[in-house]
Structure 1
Amino acid sequence: MSQVNPTTTEPLLLPYAYDVEALKTLLQEMLQAQLPVAAWQWLQEKSAAVNQSGNSAFAVAFAAMPRKTGKAVVTLSEEQEQKLAAARKGLSIQGWTLDRLARVWLLLQLDATDQQAYVARIEQLFPAAEMNELVALYSALPVLAYPEAWRGRCAEGIRNNIGTVLEAVITNNPYPAEQLAEGAWNQLVMKGFFTEKRMDQVVDFDKRANPELAQILLDFAHERWAAGRAVPPLLWRGVAPFVNEKNFADLERAFFSENSLDRDAAALACAQSSYAPARALLEKHPEQKDAVASGVITWTSIAEKAALNA
């Protein structure tokens, strides 16, 4: 986010790329409503002290959070979900626990005036963080100040092999799509497929589709076929915009698979492809065409069925 400097024509770069005050207020309302009174009072006291010079209140509170707040799952009303989407596009806290939400809210209380000091203060949390602390830190990437400063951390998160941490990086997180270079983005997508994450929950998957990723996905499909293993059906979502005469046979193989999820995914990929033979293939199968057109077949419905079959 930027604004014009009144003394020049150059833009001023602001630390946050969204309305941070609106988000802080919204998250505070959620915490105040769902935390026990004593826990909320404790959190308020700690948040008031986090920016005092030489004070360790921030690190202490961050580590102690689950003991104070508990780990109940946050409940969200439809109105709160809408407000959250308005405050920070792409952010979802569905399934978050209270300690995770409180940690992210506490991070938002840090003074971001001095970029170097701000970044250093958060960076020092990563090396010694335990699993749930890492989940909160990676969940916070899309709401932290100076978004460009966290690209390296995000790339490191992709290399993490702890399931819940990796999930916090890959799914329901708008940061990777907004900030990662193409190579790192492609690595994230492939890590998601390798570790069987819910790839329908990758924010802006379609927006970041690219020819190199499509080829990597096709190579992966060939490796799986050669090993006699199933191909993740959502893989075809990344291939769909780049179907051509060289790879159409691969899509046809999925279209005529014995596996119904493969067939559904291939039908949806045909519908989303601009390659004429792919569109023609779908036209020849009106039942699948109608299921796609009516919304019976979606990437989410395919992912949900795949998760049930896992």
Structure 2
Amino acid sequence: MSVAEYVYDQDKVNTLLSTIIRTNGNEKGNNWLQQRLQLQQQTGAIPQFNQTFTAIPRFTGKEIITLSSSENEQLQTLLPSFFVHGWTLDRLARVWWLLQLPVSDKSVYLDTLEKLFNAAEMNELAALYSALPLLPWPEEWVARTSEGIRSNIGIVQEAIMLRNPYPAKYLSEPAWNQLVMKAIFTDKPLHLIHGLDERANAALTGILVDFAHERWAAGRTVDPMQWRLLVKFVDTANFPDITRIWHSLDTVEKEAAALVCAQSSYAPARDLLGQSPSLLAEIQAGSLTWDTVAKKIIK
């Protein structure tokens, strides 16, 4: 029997999430969760597990959670890049509940999770995809994640794409590129995609340039943030595109071009940046970054 392996301290994470849930919850909801946990530990019944997963919002409510600075620090120490800010309490409770499912039998575990995915409504799906970085046997969820990328449900797309470290770590290059392009097509904030810079690749660069040409030919604009993905791949073929946005009357586009030039090793790009000492100074001072560009783009 395959043994579940976790890349984090499961007991400490379980305890921390439970604490955050308890401090954000009310007495009724907290008591209900504790009763369901005790029942699950006593019986191990899968139907009871599934029923609890579904019923959680009725008892916890759907308020946005808050974390103390200490809780946030502990979470980032235990799970670097795992992000729960802005989650509703029911989503966090569902993610925590998934950690209570026994992993002693891999086939039963996988079957249970697959059935939850198949039967889930959109908020349940969001919780399931949000839990991906915590689930054992992470390679088993690659196909499911690729399927989720094709979803047309906004909350599900965001659970997979934004601030989720799982896709960058486990998706193949084609699947990763599909995620990024789907994010662009659906106007998601690209700077919130974990691993965006690290997973940039030549194939994706080609797709993005072709996409930009199509948009321009139709008289439409391009998200300035997408040029960030060209930083390591600026060459003679796509440099004219960087030059085009450098000369844009749109300040944000010009700033994006400046950042690409500053971070590129392509000599003509560095020379182009030299034409604007003011932008170069802003970049060197740290007052012009991809984060400042992102804040100027209204989504």
- Judge same fold: TM > 0.5, yes or no: yes
Task: Give the partner amino acid of 2:91.
Answer: R
Q: Is the 8 A contact 2:4 2:103 kept in 1?
A: no
- Corresponding position of 2:260: 269
- Corresponding position of 1:179: 170
- Corresponding position of 1:247: 238
Asked if 1:304 is matched to 2:298, the reply is no
* Structure 2 counterparts to residues 133-212 of structure 1, below 5 A: 133-212=124-203
What's the CA shift for 1:53? 4.2
CA distance in 1 between counterparts of 2:92 and 2:250 reads 40
Q: Structure 1 unaligned runs (5+)?
A: 1-11
Q: In the TM superposition, what whole-angstrom CA distance separates every residue of 1:26-46 from its partner, at most 9, and x where no partner exists?
A: 111101111101111111121
Q: Is the 8 A contact 2:161 2:183 kept in 1?
A: yes
Q: In the TM superposition, what whole-angstrom CA distance separates every residue of 1:114-158 from its partner, at most 9, and x where no partner exists?
A: 211111111101122111111101101111111111001110110
Task: Give the partner amino acid of 1:22.
Answer: K
Length-normalised TM-score, structure 1: 0.93
Q: In the TM superposition, what whole-angstrom CA distance separates every residue of 1:260-293 from its partner, at most 9, and x where no partner exists?
A: 1111111111111110111111122111111222
Figure out how many residues of one structure are paired with residues of the other and give that number: 297
Q: Is the 8 A contact 2:231 2:264 kept in 1?
A: yes
CA distance in 2 between counterparts of 1:13 and 1:250 reads 51
What's the CA shift for 1:55? 4.7
What's the CA shift for 1:79? 2.4
Task: Give the partner amino acid of 2:213.
Answer: H
Asked if 1:39 is matched to 2:29, the reply is yes
Question: Structure 2 vs 1, CA of residues 278 and 55 (structure 1 numbering), >3 Å: closer, same or farther?
Answer: closer
Structure 1's consecutive aligned runs of 4 or more residues displaced over 4 angstroms after TM superposition are none
Asked if 1:98 is matched to 2:89, the reply is yes
- Corresponding position of 2:101: 110
CA distance in 2 between counterparts of 1:194 and 1:224 reads 11
What's the CA shift for 1:13? 6.5
Question: Structure 2 vs 1, CA of residues 80 and 221 (structure 1 numbering), >3 Å: closer, same or farther?
Answer: same
Q: Structure 2 unaligned runs (5+)?
A: none
Task: Determine which structure has the larger helix proportion and give its number.
Answer: 2
Task: Give the partner amino acid of 1:120.
Answer: D
CA distance in 2 between counterparts of 1:148 and 1:13 reads 14
Length-normalised TM-score, structure 2: 0.96
CA distance in 2 between counterparts of 1:251 and 1:88 reads 37
Q: Is the 8 A contact 1:49 1:58 kept in 2?
A: no
What's the CA shift for 1:15? 2.2
Query: Which one is further off, 209-218 or 290-299?
Result: 290-299
CA distance in 1 between counterparts of 2:53 and 2:185 reads 32
CA distance in 2 between counterparts of 1:107 and 1:208 reads 29
CA distance in 1 between counterparts of 2:270 and 2:8 reads 40
Task: Give the partner amino acid of 2:72.
Answer: E
Query: Matched residues, percent identical?
Result: 47
